[in-house]
């Protein structure tokens, strides 16, 4: 029998792997991938709790919204990364510390 | 029995390929490993009886987001590719260790709190479990989701449509060529 705790522990692992990618990677595309992993862990929590909510279906509905938000975030984030690369000639976030032109 | 075996198989595939994803140096391989992670996560959604979410995950993430990532990665110029592959560095560098300590602390905190939380779940979960109001495998999820989107959640639905249009315009505006300025 698969309980709620199984889902929660798996999503905690995925979330922490995404957090590691965000913190340790020195490459903006991999940081974006880490953010995607964290959003996926959140969606897993949404659907796992939504299983117990037959009246409102809140978990599944907001899981769909979260998927759409993640897709939008990737589209804008990639456009930003390509612009930053054109401007600074690097996508290592540690080298991008100037706001002025 | 076979259900829990499949669950553990999907969870293991997801976690192991995610670990490999953050460990591997080659960004192209890491992006293709993200395929595997997202498919395994879609499999996990099926165990929470969210079939429509799983299909949407495969359609939007694997069909849209990942293709976008790989396109942006492969269509950009060669310097970006060379820059990408040399960024990972040694394993025993300072940011890696800081991140590792922070992540392990966070993971242990989360797992501990989940395990102690599962001893005393909230009232509504126990109630819906007792009354049999959970989502069942025989339910028609897609039909109910369609009704919910058009009645109860119509305001978030409209907001997210406007948001998506803003994102489309913004991404197209950001990624245009600036040469004619």
The burial of B169, by beta-carbon neighbours within 10 Å (0-12 exposed, 13-18 middle, 19 or more buried), is given as exposed
CB contact under 8 A, A72 and B47: no
In-domain check, residue B117: no
pLDDT tens over chain A, length 101 residues: 788 899 999 999 999 999 999 998 888 888 999 999 999 999 999 999 998 888 888 899 999 999 999 999 998 988 888 888 878 777 777 777 777 65
- Average pLDDT of chain B, as a whole number: 85
Which token pair is B50?
């969210």
Work out how many CB contacts closer than 8 A connect A with B.
229
ipTM of the complex: 0.89
Contact B18, B103 (CB under 8 A): no
CB contact under 8 A, B103 and A92: no
Does residue B2 carry a pLDDT above 50? yes
Query: Where along chain A do its domains lie?
Result: 4-95
Query: For residue A86, what pLDDT is reported?
Result: 79
CA–CA distance, B81 with B74 (Å, rounded to integer): 8
Does residue B177 carry a pLDDT above 90? no
Q: How many other C-beta atoms are found inside a 10 Å radius of the C-beta of residue B102?
A: 15
In-domain check, residue B63: yes
Query: For residue A42, what pLDDT is reported?
Result: 95
CA–CA distance, A59 with A11 (Å, rounded to integer): 15
Whose structure tokens read 């510390």?
A97
Tell whether B34 is within 8 A of chain A (Cβ).
yes
Cα atoms in the 13 Å half-sphere on the side-chain side of B170: 14
CA–CA distance, A49 with A42 (Å, rounded to integer): 11
Contact A42, A8 (CB under 8 A): no
CA–CA distance, A57 with A40 (Å, rounded to integer): 19
Residues 6 or more apart in contact with residue A17 via CB below 8 angstroms: A34, A37, B15, B18, B19, B21, B22, B103
Q: What is the tens place of the pLDDT at every residue in B68-126?
A: 888 877 776 666 555 555 445 555 666 688 889 999 999 999 999 999 988 888 888 88
B137 and B85 in a common domain: no
Last residue of a domain, one of B89, B124, B153: B89
Residue of B nearest to A10 (CA): B11
Which token pair is B95?
């940011």
In B55-94, the residues whose Cβ lies within 8 Å of chain A are: 56-57, 60-61, 64-65, 68-69, 72-73, 76, 79-80, 83-84, 87-89
Span B31-47, average pLDDT: 93
Q: What is the tens place of the pLDDT at every residue in B55-68?
A: 999 999 888 888 88
CB contact under 8 A, A17 and B144: no
Q: How many other C-beta atoms are found inside a 10 Å radius of the C-beta of residue A22?
A: 20
- Domain limits at B156? 132-181
DSSP B49: T
B149 and B72 in a common domain: no
- CATH code of residue B85: 1.20.120.1200
Query: For residue A39, what pLDDT is reported?
Result: 95
Q: Which CATH number fits domain A4-95: 1.10.3720.10, 3.60.110.10, 1.10.287.3510, 3.40.710.10?
A: 1.10.287.3510
CA–CA distance, A31 with B101 (Å, rounded to integer): 18
Contact B102, A45 (CB under 8 A): no
Q: Total domain count for chain B? A: 2
Helix H or strand E segment including A99: none
| B106: nearest CB among A8, A19, A68 | A19
B83 and B16 in a common domain: yes
């Amino acid at each position: 029998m698969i309980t709620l705790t199984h889902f929660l522990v798996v999503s905690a692992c995925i979330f922490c792997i995404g957090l590691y990618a965000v913190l340790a990677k020195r490459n903006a595309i991999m940081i974006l991938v880490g953010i995607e992993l964290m959003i996926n862990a959140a969606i897993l929590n949404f659907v796992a709790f939504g299983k117990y909510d037959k009246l409102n279906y809140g978990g599944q509905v907001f899981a769909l919204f979260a998927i759409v938000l993640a897709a939008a975030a990737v589209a804008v984030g990639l456009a930003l990364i390509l612009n930053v690369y054109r401007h600074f000639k690097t996508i290592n976030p540690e080298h991008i510390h100037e706001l002025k032109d | 029995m076979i259900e829990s075996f499949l669950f553990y198989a999907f969870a293991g595939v997801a976690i192991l390929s995610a670990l490999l994803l953050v460990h591997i140096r080659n960004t192209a391989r890491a992006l293709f490993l993200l395929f595997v992670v997202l498919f395994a996560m879609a499999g996990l959604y099926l165990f929470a009886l969210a079939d429509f979410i799983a299909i949407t995950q495969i359609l939007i993430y694997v069909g849209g987001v990942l293709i976008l990532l790989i396109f942006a990665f492969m269509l950009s110029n060669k310097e970006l590719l060379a820059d990408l592959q040399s960024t990972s560095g040694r394993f025993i560098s300072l940011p890696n260790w800081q991140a590792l300590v922070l992540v392990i602390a966070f993971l242990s905190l989360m797992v501990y709190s989940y395990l102690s939380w599962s001893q005393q779940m909230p009232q509504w979960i126990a109630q819906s479990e007792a009354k049999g109001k959970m989502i069942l495998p025989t339910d028609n999820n897609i039909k109910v989701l369609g009704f919910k989107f058009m009645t109860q959640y119509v305001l978030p639905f409209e907001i997210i449509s406007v948001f998506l249009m803003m994102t489309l315009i913004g991404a197209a505006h950001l990624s245009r060529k600036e040469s004619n300025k």
